[in-house]
């Protein structure tokens, strides 16, 4: 019997399911393989060590929520804030709430894709019962 395979979005290799960790309570496999996940965890740890935590009065630059308005992230060691970094050059970008961090991650940090999402939402937004362009 052949093992099922999955594409790792970080190293861009097709690997067996066993090479991926589970997420969402074990319902899904993570988008990156275990090897890439370990490298990402190490980079996040380095950045957190270097940049510490955001100031106590910090608000997410995307949604504008402060620490009391956001839920704690999903992991057992998680905090209210996710350390955001550029995945191409590993440079620190700042702190985001987990929801916004997952949102831009879902769009692969692509400005073009985010613009298309804005255009889509703008075109399909209902205002007084009518769509507007």
DSSP for 45-102, please give it: HHHHHHH----TT-B-TTT--BGGGS---SSTT--SEEEEE-TTT--EEEEEEHHHHH
Can you give the residue ranges of every domain in the chain?
A: 1-52
Q: Which CATH class is domain 1-52?
A: alpha beta
Residue 129's pLDDT is what? 54
pLDDT means per 10 residues, the chain with 133 residues, are 81 93 81 92 91 92 92 63 88 93 90 93 70 51
Computed from CA positions of residues 47, 60, 86, 74, in that sequence, does the dihedral angle turn out positive or negative?
A: positive
Residue 1's pLDDT is what? 46
**CA distance linking residue 97 with residue 81, whole number of Å:** 5
Residue 65's pLDDT is what? 95
Name the pTM for this structure: 0.73
Tokens 């929520």 identify what position? 65
């Amino acid at each position: 019997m052949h093992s099922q395979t999955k594409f790792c979005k970080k190293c861009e290799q097709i690997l067996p399911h066993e090479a991926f960790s589970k997420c969402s309570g074990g319902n899904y496999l993570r988008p990156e393989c275990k090897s890439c996940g370990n490298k990402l965890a190490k980079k996040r740890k380095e950045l957190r060590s270097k940049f510490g935590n955001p100031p106590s009065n910090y608000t997410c630059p995307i949604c504008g929520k402060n620490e009391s308005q956001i839920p704690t992230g999903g992991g057992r060691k998680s905090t209210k804030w996710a350390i955001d970094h550029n995945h191409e050059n590993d440079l620190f970008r700042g702190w985001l709430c987990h929801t916004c961090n997952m949102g831009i991650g879902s769009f692969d940090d692509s400005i073009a894709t985010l613009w298309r999402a804005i255009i889509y939402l703008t075109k399909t937004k209902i205002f007084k019962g009518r769509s507007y362009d």
